[in-house]
Amino acid sequence: GPGVATVAGLLSGAEGPGRDAEGALDVDLLVVLDAPQLDVETAALLTESLPDGARLVLSGDPAVLWSVGPGRVFADLLAARACPQVASRRPDPGPLGELVSGIGVGELLQVEAPEKEVVIVPVRDAGEAVHRTVQLVADSVPRALGVPAEQTQVITPGHGGAVGTRVLNAALKERLNPGPGRFAGFDPGDRVAWSPAPGRTLPGRVVGADAEGLRLDCAGETVVVPRDRVEQTVRHGWALTAHQAVGSRWPAAVVVLPGDAVPALSRPWIYTAFSRADRHLSVVHGVDQALQRAVAEVPAKPRTTRLPVLLAPQLPGAAD
C-alpha cells in the first residue's frame, strides 16, 4: 500500500521504501505535497532518484511563499506548461476561505464573520502588539472559541525586532509555561520548532533532557536532539515566521503585523500567514493601509532561475 515519508527522510533512506538494486527509489508513483517548498537542489535530487517509468506528482498551492532555498521549481513548472496540470478551484468554505481566496487575486475583502472566524485587533505600538497577542492566545481565543492555547499558532514576519518570534516566544512562555529554562533554555512542556534540515520546521514539545540531549515529542514521535545541535536547530515555537509555518495548519492562528513589519509584507506572505488558520484568524494589526497595499501591489520578489531555459526544448512546438 501507499507509504508516507518526508522528502528528507526519503532521500536519506531513513524513511520510505528504500532503494532498488540500481540505487533508485523503489516506487512506481511519488506524490509530493507542499511542492512549492522544494528548492532546486532538493527537487533535482528527488527526480534523479526516481526509477525509469515512475510517475511524479507535485501538489501544492502556487500562491504560498516560495522555498527558503534557491529556485522556484513549482512555479517554473507551472509557467512552462511542460507537463499535465490539474487545478482545484474550490476555495475553503466560510469567511476564512473567502478572505484567503481574495488575497490570492490581490484583493483584501471585508468579510462577514458572524461566528468570529476573523477578528481584527488594532494596536498602536510594539508593546501593545505583544500584550494583545499573549492575551489572545492565553485567554480570548480559548474563552470565546474553545480553541486551547496549544492549538493556536502565532505568526510574525521575523525573528528579531520588538515583535519578532524571540520577543513573542519569551512573553508567551512566561504566560503559558514559565520556568528557568534549565535544559539549554528550555523546560518540559515548552512548545518548540525543530529544524532537522534547512527550510524544514517541525512543531514539537519538550518532554525532558538527559546525557543524550533534548527530548522532544513531535507528533507522537520521540526525537532526541544532541546537546551540540540544540542551539542551532531548536527554537521556542509558540510564535513562528510564515516560512516556518508554511507546511502546517492549526485550528486558530494569530498573525501579528507590527508597524515595523511593512517592508516584509507581500501578497504571498499575507496569503501564507492567513491561510494557516482552519477555524479562526486574529490579526494584530499595526500597519494601517500597508496591509491592503501589500495584498494589491507587492507580488513575490522575483527570482532568476535557469529552469525555464532548460524546460523550453521539452515543450510542444519547440524546434526539432
Domains 7-90+301-314 and 94-180+236-288 share a fold: yes
Other residues' Cβ atoms within 10 Å of the Cβ of residue 58: 20
- Pick one of 3.30.413.10, 1.20.1050.10, 3.40.50.970, 3.40.50.300 as the CATH number of 94-180+236-288: 3.40.50.300
Contacts of 66 (CB under 8 A, 6+ apart): 36, 72, 74, 75, 268, 300, 303
Amino acid making up residue 40: V
Residue in this structure with the C-alpha cell 497577542, named with its chain if needed: 133
Give the model confidence (pLDDT) of 114-126 as tens digits.
999 999 999 999 9
pTM for this prediction = 0.92
**Rounded Cα gap, residues 155 and 254, in angstroms:** 6
| pLDDT of 1 strictly over 60 | no
- Confidence (pLDDT) at 100: 96
Give the model confidence (pLDDT) of 35-50 as tens digits.
999 999 999 999 999 9
Average pLDDT of every residue of the chain: 93
- pLDDT confidence tier of residue 93, bands split at 50, 70 and 90: confident
What does CATH list as the number for 7-90+301-314? Answer: 3.40.50.300
**Rounded Cα gap, residues 198 and 201, in angstroms:** 8
Domain ranges of the chain: 7-90+301-314, 94-180+236-288
